[in-house]
Amino acid sequence: MTTILFHKPFGVLSQFTDARSPTERPTLSAYIDMPSVYPAGRLDRDSEGLLVLTDDGRLQARLTQPRSKTPKTYWAQVEGTPTPDQLTALQNGVTLKDGPTRPAKARLITPDVPPRDPPIRVRKSIPDAWIELTITEGRNRQVRRMCAHVGLPCLRLIRRSVGDWTLNDLPPGTWRHA
């Protein structure tokens, strides 16, 4: 069985082919030449960070099924300065259009992250901050929607860990065996 950890860069699709636009949008095949592995979960094209790929169907199911409650930790650069009330709301869970989220771990952080290409938009009149958010479910764009719900639009999103696996010092666009 093969399991690899990939640091997905911004703008890359979490799939090996793009039927819609095969020449314009980069996919995993630009970085990984291993036809037997598939992503265990997804990261949006505009998100970065850890993507676990495996040929083990049981592992893939364990990592992606909501009932397994696999923790996933994200670093979200948000517009504004989070208040204690906003962090508490994230910790308690918020109600989105598709229902309430499970409680999350949320705290302010000051991470050391590589620059993004292209860089995020910066507005001199509005500060930004980083939040570490750990969730145990994985709805579509959930972290972005949770942050927006409490008034903190997400400028940049990096998945730092899935279960016990972390990015550590894996540079964007590279992978290693788990």
CB count within 10 Å of CB 101 equals 21
Task: Express each pLDDT in 136-158 by its tens digit.
Answer: 998 999 999 999 999 999 999 99
- Which range marks the domain in which residue 125 is found? 71-162
**Rounded Cα–Cα distance for residues 36 and 52 (Å):** 13
Which residue among 18, 44, 55, 128 is the active-site one? Answer: 44
Task: Express each pLDDT in 73-94 by its tens digit.
Answer: 999 999 999 999 999 999 999 9
Same domain, residue pair 135 and 158: yes
Q: The whole model's pTM is what?
A: 0.94
**Number of domains within the chain:** 2
**Rounded Cα–Cα distance for residues 79 and 103 (Å):** 22
Confidence of residue 22 (pLDDT cuts 50, 70, 90): low
Confidence of residue 18 (pLDDT cuts 50, 70, 90): confident
- pLDDT tops 80 at residue 178: yes
Q: What is the pLDDT of residue 81?
A: 95
Same domain, residue pair 156 and 91: yes
Same domain, residue pair 150 and 173: no
164 is catalytic: no
Which CATH number belongs to the domain containing residue 173 in this structure? Answer: 3.30.70.580
Same domain, residue pair 58 and 137: no
Same domain, residue pair 56 and 80: no
